[in-house]
Amino acid sequence: MIKVAINGYGTIGKRVADAVAAQKDMKIIGVSKTRPSAEAFIAQQRGYPLYLADLAKKSSCENLGLKVSGNVEDMIKQADIVIDATPGDVGAKNKPVYERLGVKAIFQGGEEHEVAGFSFNSDCNYKDAIGRQFARVVSCNTTGLCRIIQAMDKEYGVAKVRAVMVRRGSDPGEVKKGPIDAVVLNPVTIPSHHGPDVLTVLPHIQIVTMAMIVPTTMMHMHAIQMDLAKQGSRERVIEIIERHPRMGLVRKGTGITSTAELKEYAMDLGRCRADLWENGIFEESISVAGKELYLFQAIHQEADVVVENVDAIRAMMGTVKDPAVSVRMTNEAMGLKAL
Amino acid sequence: MIKVAINGYGTIGKRVADAVAAQKDMKIIGVSKTRPSAEAFIAQQRGYPLYLADLAKKSSCENLGLKVSGNVEDMIKQADIVIDATPGDVGAKNKPVYERLGVKAIFQGGEEHEVAGFSFNSDCNYKDAIGRQFARVVSCNTTGLCRIIQAMDKEYGVAKVRAVMVRRGSDPGEVKKGPIDAVVLNPVTIPSHHGPDVLTVLPHIQIVTMAMIVPTTMMHMHAIQMDLAKQGSRERVIEIIERHPRMGLVRKGTGITSTAELKEYAMDLGRCRADLWENGIFEESISVAGKELYLFQAIHQEADVVVENVDAIRAMMGTVKDPAVSVRMTNEAMGLKAL
Amino acid sequence: MIKVAINGYGTIGKRVADAVAAQKDMKIIGVSKTRPSAEAFIAQQRGYPLYLADLAKKSSCENLGLKVSGNVEDMIKQADIVIDATPGDVGAKNKPVYERLGVKAIFQGGEEHEVAGFSFNSDCNYKDAIGRQFARVVSCNTTGLCRIIQAMDKEYGVAKVRAVMVRRGSDPGEVKKGPIDAVVLNPVTIPSHHGPDVLTVLPHIQIVTMAMIVPTTMMHMHAIQMDLAKQGSRERVIEIIERHPRMGLVRKGTGITSTAELKEYAMDLGRCRADLWENGIFEESISVAGKELYLFQAIHQEADVVVENVDAIRAMMGTVKDPAVSVRMTNEAMGLKAL
Amino acid sequence: MIKVAINGYGTIGKRVADAVAAQKDMKIIGVSKTRPSAEAFIAQQRGYPLYLADLAKKSSCENLGLKVSGNVEDMIKQADIVIDATPGDVGAKNKPVYERLGVKAIFQGGEEHEVAGFSFNSDCNYKDAIGRQFARVVSCNTTGLCRIIQAMDKEYGVAKVRAVMVRRGSDPGEVKKGPIDAVVLNPVTIPSHHGPDVLTVLPHIQIVTMAMIVPTTMMHMHAIQMDLAKQGSRERVIEIIERHPRMGLVRKGTGITSTAELKEYAMDLGRCRADLWENGIFEESISVAGKELYLFQAIHQEADVVVENVDAIRAMMGTVKDPAVSVRMTNEAMGLKAL
């Protein structure tokens, strides 16, 4: 059993915790919070030992009925590997602790590539992660791009990618963030950081990304165009997506044309937290004209990296060498079946 | 086993179906749709036989891999009781069919009181429903009002209720409905229909309601003031809510101050579809000054009536005479525990 | 003085009315409504005679203090030219009336190209409109695309355009339309209708468009990529935009990065109704790499076609033969100066 | 001519500047910014001399073509009175400067009452402001409450006010603020600060307020109930509102039922920045039953305090002793006529 600690039990951390707990070869030995919160009560309900960044908050937790098992270092010392799901740029500050304690750690996409020196995606470079002390699971948008680009690149070769990312303004529970009624260019400059971030995983790809933020909490939407190296076919692209373990077809027959309906569908399917761990690619949008491919894909900002974190654990621990085996183990334990 | 049919497998229908399926004394014998949709695939996944309003759509369903068991009348003939969860005012059109086929039916709050001639709330008038052919479960807002008013009325007597209902503009999946950026008075006139609707269940209460619609999909929010017949105490009000099986305290310690965070909490708790079947009453808001009570409660528009429908089935079938027993059976089967 | 009637005094109609009234060579002889409304009071305040589609509503108007001058045919008979700003597809139904009465008419982009048989843009085909009885001013999105494509095509030749249109869900006052919290693919299929619509004006251009709807009321946002026929330069593109009478640079120095801030700026500039009649092109976004051009432009859905309608009047009446002269007259009368 | 400086040329400051500039007895001698921005360009376009909080930013302004006249102290020294429209709590920090330079200053509602020691509303206590060095114009919500409460109190006596304030999440241009999809109790506790804030102007009133924030940028909406000291009549309440210079009736005949439609109407009326300086009271909502009054009023958060600032200038300077005269001067100069 791989002993996993979750440093930062928030939007991503709580999902990775449940994903890890569902695996037969892993277990959660603790999760950390900086202060009492709704999520701390959830950790307790799930039976995850709660650790605090600062034990000065211990009594305020205990007064609320929250049991505290120690501080973050106490937690890390028991772990084989730490999922660092702290807010952006905090991971970089935590790294020296992981180094000092000699523990493996996985950072999230809010950190710079250089923090880990290696950026991970299960489809693209699983084997390169084997044995590493540090890795960074790329952001939700980059993960979604890497999956579809890698799949098309393997089949056709990809000469150029142009992608427009229409990003949700906040996660559902982040009630202080906007915008309320605006499209915000973020950044105004082109390319956005997403293109270069794809290169940390797929350095040979030519890609230009443009990004904006809109007033929704649901999912990101990608409008993607690719120049393929050879003539493609719509049927073959659909087939590749259908067979891919982390891409799902949003089928015409469902009548789904929006992120909100897709999330409702995931919820109705009984998915934990209505999570879509896979790219949601709209079947009807897939268009191939000669060497050009166009499609829309929805990316669940809170979810697609969760399964990648689980695979990264196995790769870095070296317990499973074959990416396909790890992906299958992860997916089965979480109930990820075709949409 | 009470045989239950769901006529109208949509936002409410799909939830009642799962709630019924979870009860030991009931089973779903079929659900109906007017056309193929995402929800039809969900019915199939859950194992609910699918019936069509019009068999002309049968082949289009079958082409999508959806098995069709017959038309709506075929379904009704097998049922002891029908949950009519069709859109507002369609229930009234269905009533003659239920009469002709001699089946019991439960309508929803989108229908007029007169359609059933009896409006139901588990707390207020369960016993009056025993043996009836028709009942109407009042709307989500009215249900939420009835629960807290009835509880305060039993304890203190309620001389007057003034409530402002800040309503969500659409359910999450209803992407055509607005508003996007406006507060819409609905209606502009005072009182809104909610006050009179409470009177269909609690005819002796004095109540004035005001209502507006805002750009959110999450939950309704009620700002409630009551004139009590005698002096109240905040501690006692909290105690009553804590002990009530269908009211939940949103505790200060969770840090939750919004509908979105409350839904996130329900999701994290593992609730099916993140549903809050209970009134979400904000602990910190509860204020008692002499004979005046003030509080905020959040009402999950898709969920609070679901448990009421289940109780109404037992009452109308006459299988459980004691409301407290039915409420306990319903709650336990669904995992409704204190927030 | 060209006598202009506005058939349909709504979002577009009221703006064209004020734009026409501001011109020295035109005047408004009447505007029409189907029923009393806030806009009918505005027409009266502005001194535009009010006509009704159906005189049965006359007394309900008069009871509110609204003077009624007659029915729509009474209005049309006095006009040299009609601006048909009725809702989509109503214009097609009105066309036989215009034919019977022998009056010129301008339709809006909600009508099919075939209704008028000629689609108009001031930059692209003003002279082809001279003397015509019917023309259609293309939609706001198509107008915005035509302007930038035509300008780049004249300078460099445009080999291919790929554009993603992120569209506002409703106009600010349309409180029934959504979505509230979703990105809606509209359509899911690729290309959207915008690309083919550009071809009604610029038939030689290769263009693929993708479109979605987001929960904002402010403006549309276009993410545009063009393959130029020869090497471009950022400085030259900026210069072309600066000199263009209907394209404006959103300069870096203003700090504006969103549609909402851009509308605020237009409002602060004292623009009538905060209207942006020009494409709002974000200076910092303009990127040229070899033969590829990328940029973001904001399109005010209620405004950019207004100035085109005014030019189309002059072209069809044949009073001004030179498009540059008409554009200058229109802009000056409306106070359209560089952002 | 009263010489007025605007310290903080933002949402409120830019509106007060234009309102002051429109008065015959006042002029703007300067406005201040902390850094270059879209608003700095607007100041220049309007001809208001621009001053900087910190002259270190002077060259970055000048590089953008913005002329800088000096620092804030240079501006204040030329002024008879300063409008402090800096962000909340900054006014308190500025007060010692105003004291040292011996200049009068008006603070906004984001400051505590104690900063000025006197809270101002034109209807309620104009004469008490005569000759003062400092005053605070109460916030938009408090101003809107004071107007209607004072008017009803004069006519009937007001025994108790209960008000629910449904507040906009952000101003239109504030694209970083949310919520996107939530109702946020702000505060969760009852009463909100609005009730006590009314007491700074009307200390004898009994009032309880409840407040929440919703995802709109348009206006606040107040749901108000009052216990009157004697029997009221709907007709008389309407008459009082019609005759009041700062309250407007949103008439049934306009069909307006929302904040967005009301703003559109103000825009169509040609109001500067579509501002509603008056309470927008919905005619159809006004309900009187015995001694109880209910109504809805919309409050434009950016606008209603603007006219109050202008009156406060005259009161504090002592140039106009009669509040009715100042209100009439202010309104006429700004074109505030009945809705």
The SS3 assignment for D16 reads helix
CA distance D147 to chain B (A): 21
Q: Does the beta-carbon distance from C175 to D14 stay under 8 Å? A: no
Give chain B's length.
339
Which ranges of chain C would DSSP assign to H, the alpha helix?
11-21, 38-46, 58-63, 72-77, 90-101, 113-116, 122-125, 140-156, 194-199, 234-243, 259-268, 304-317, 323-334
Q: Identify all chain D residues contacting A171, using CB atoms and an 8 Å cutoff.
A: none
Percent of residues, chain A, with pLDDT higher than 90: 99
Residues A177 and D178 sit within 8 Å (Cβ to Cβ)? yes
- CB atoms < 10 A from the CB of D222, how many? 25
Report how far residue B26's alpha carbon sits from residue C303's, in angstroms, rounded to the nearest whole number.
59
Q: What is the pLDDT, as a whole number, of residue A51?
A: 98
Cross-chain Cβ contact B176/C181 below 8 Å: no
Calculate the average pLDDT of chain C: 97
The answer to whether residue C218 scores a pLDDT higher than 90 is: yes
Active site residues of B: 140
**How many angstroms separate the CA of residue B190 from the nearest CA in chain D?**
6
Quick one: pLDDT at residue B203? Answer: 98
CB contact under 8 A, A170 and D178: yes
Nearest neighbour of A185 by CB, restricted to C182, C184, C296:
C296
Look at residue C320 and tell me whether its pLDDT is greater than 90: yes
Handedness of CA A41, A46, A47, A48 (dihedral sign): negative
Which of A15, A39, A41, A66 is the best mutation test for B, with the most CBs of B within 10 A?
Answer: A41
Contact C215 A218 (CB under 8 A): no
What's the DSSP call for residue D48?
P
Interface test with B, best of A33, A46, A264, A275 (most B CBs within 10 A): A264
Across the interface, do D260 and C173 touch by the CB < 8 Å criterion?
Answer: yes
Q: Least CA distance to A250: which residue of chain C?
A: C188
Residues on chain C touching D42 (C-beta within 8 angstroms)? 265, 268-269
Do residues D178 and A176 touch, judged by C-beta distance below 8 A?
yes
C285 with A188: CB under 8 angstroms? yes
**Cβ-contact B312, B135 below 8 angstroms:** yes
Q: Pick the closest to residue D301 from D177, D218, D196 (CA basis).
A: D218
Residue D181: strand, helix, or coil: coil
Count of beta carbons in the 10 Å neighbourhood of residue A131: 10
One of 3.40.50.720, 3.50.50.60, 3.30.70.360, 3.90.1170.50 is the CATH number of D2-139+305-334, namely 3.40.50.720
Contacts of A264 in chain B (CB under 8 A): 38, 172-173
Least CB-CB distance to D185: which of B184, B212, B285? B285
Q: Give tens-digit pLDDT for D42-54.
A: 999 999 999 999 9
Asked if A296 and C185 come within 8 Å (Cβ–Cβ), the reply is: yes
Q: What is the pLDDT of residues B281-309, one digit of tens each?
A: 999 999 999 999 999 999 999 999 999 99
Subunit contact A267:B273, Cβ cutoff 8 A: yes
Considering the segment(s) C2-138+305-334 as one domain, its CATH architecture is 3-Layer(aba) Sandwich (3.40)
Which whole-number Å values give the CA distances from B203 to A279, B160, B206, D93, in the listed order? 53, 13, 8, 57
| Residue C42 to residue D180, Cβ atoms within 8 A | no
Q: Do domains A2-138+305-334 and A140-299 have the same CATH topology?
A: no
| Contacts for C286 with CB less than 8 Å, ≥ 6 apart | C234, C237, C238, C241, C293, C294, C295
Residue numbers in A near B274 (CB within 8 A): 267, 273-274
CB within 8 Å: C269 and D175? no
Topology at the third CATH level for domain A140-299: Dihydrodipicolinate Reductase; domain 2 (3.30.360)
Q: Which of A167, A171, A175, A214 to mutate to test the interface with D (most CBs of D within 10 A)?
A: A175
Length of chain C: 339
Facing residue for B261 by CB, picked from A42, A173, A260: A173
User: Does B338 have pLDDT greater than 90?
Assistant: no
> ∠ CA D198-D201-D203 to the nearest 5 degrees?
80
- Chain C residues touching chain A at CB-CB below 8 Å: 162, 164, 166, 179, 181-191, 208, 210, 212, 214-219, 221, 223, 225, 252, 257-261, 282, 284-285, 287, 292, 294-296, 298
Contact D299/D141 with Cβ under 8 angstroms? yes
Q: Does C282 contact A185 at a Cβ distance shorter than 8 Å?
A: yes
Query: In this complex, which chains have at least 3 CB pairs below 8 Å with chain B?
Result: A, C, D
Average pLDDT, chain A: 97
Please answer yes or no on whether B170 and C177 come within 8 Å at the CB atom: no
A338 — pLDDT class (breaks 50, 70, 90): confident
Active-site residue A140, yes or no?
yes
- The one-letter code for the residue type at C283 is E
Mean pLDDT to the nearest integer, B192-200: 97
Confidence tier at C338 by pLDDT (50, 70, 90)? confident
pLDDT tens digit sequence for D123-169: 999 999 999 999 999 999 999 999 999 999 999 999 999 999 999 99
Beta carbons within 10 angstroms of residue B101's beta carbon? 13
Please tell me the predicted confidence (pLDDT) of residue A100.
Answer: 98
Q: Quick one: closest CA in D to A173, which residue?
A: D182
For C154-179, write each residue's pLDDT tens digit.
Answer: 999 999 999 999 999 999 999 999 99
Q: Are A139 and A110 a contacting pair, CB within 8 Å?
A: yes
For residue D338, pLDDT beyond 90: no
Question: Per DSSP, what are the bridge partners of residue B162?
Answer: B208, B225
Pairing relationship of beta strands C220-228 and C158-168 according to DSSP bridges: antiparallel
Q: Give me the DSSP letters along B290-302.
A: TTEEEEEEEE-TT
ipTM at complex level: 0.97
pLDDT, one tens digit per residue, over D292-336 is: 999 999 999 999 999 999 999 999 999 999 999 999 999 999 999
Predicted confidence band of residue B339 (pLDDT cuts 50, 70, 90):
confident
- Which H/E stretch holds residue D222? strand D220-228
**Residue of A61, A140, A146, A272 with catalytic role:** A140
Partner residue opposite C172 with nearest CB, options B170, B181, B216: B181
CA distance B284 to chain D (A): 5
Residues C122-142: pLDDT tens digits? Answer: 999 999 999 999 999 999 999
**Chains touching D, CB cut-off 8 Å, 3+ pairs:** A, B, C
Amino acid at C46: R
Helices (H), B23-87: 38-46, 58-63, 72-77
**Every domain of chain B and the residues it spans:** 2-138+305-334, 140-299
User: pLDDT tens, A267-305?
Assistant: 999 999 999 999 999 999 999 999 999 999 999 999 999
Mean pLDDT of D87-113: 97
pLDDT in tens, A152-196: 999 999 999 999 999 999 999 999 999 999 999 999 999 999 999
Is B65 a residue whose pLDDT tops 90? Answer: yes
Which whole number is the average pLDDT over A231-247?
A: 98
With H, G, I as helix, E, B as strand and everything else as coil, classify residue C230. Answer: coil
In angstroms, rounded to a whole number, what is the distance separating the alpha carbons of residues D166 and B169? 15
Which letter does DSSP use for residue C23 in this model?
S
Please check the confidence at residue A238 and state whether its pLDDT lies above 90.
yes
- Name chain B contacts of C178, Cβ cutoff 8 Å: 169-170, 174-180
The answer to whether the CB atoms of C38 and D64 lie below 8 A apart is no
Q: Determine the pLDDT at residue D218.
A: 96
d(CA C139, CA C158): 21
Mean pLDDT estimate for chain D: 97
The partner residue sitting opposite C181, judged by closest CB among A210, A212, A260, is A260
CA dist D96 and D105 (Å) reads 11
Residue A263: which of B42, B172, B265 has the nearest Cβ?
Answer: B172
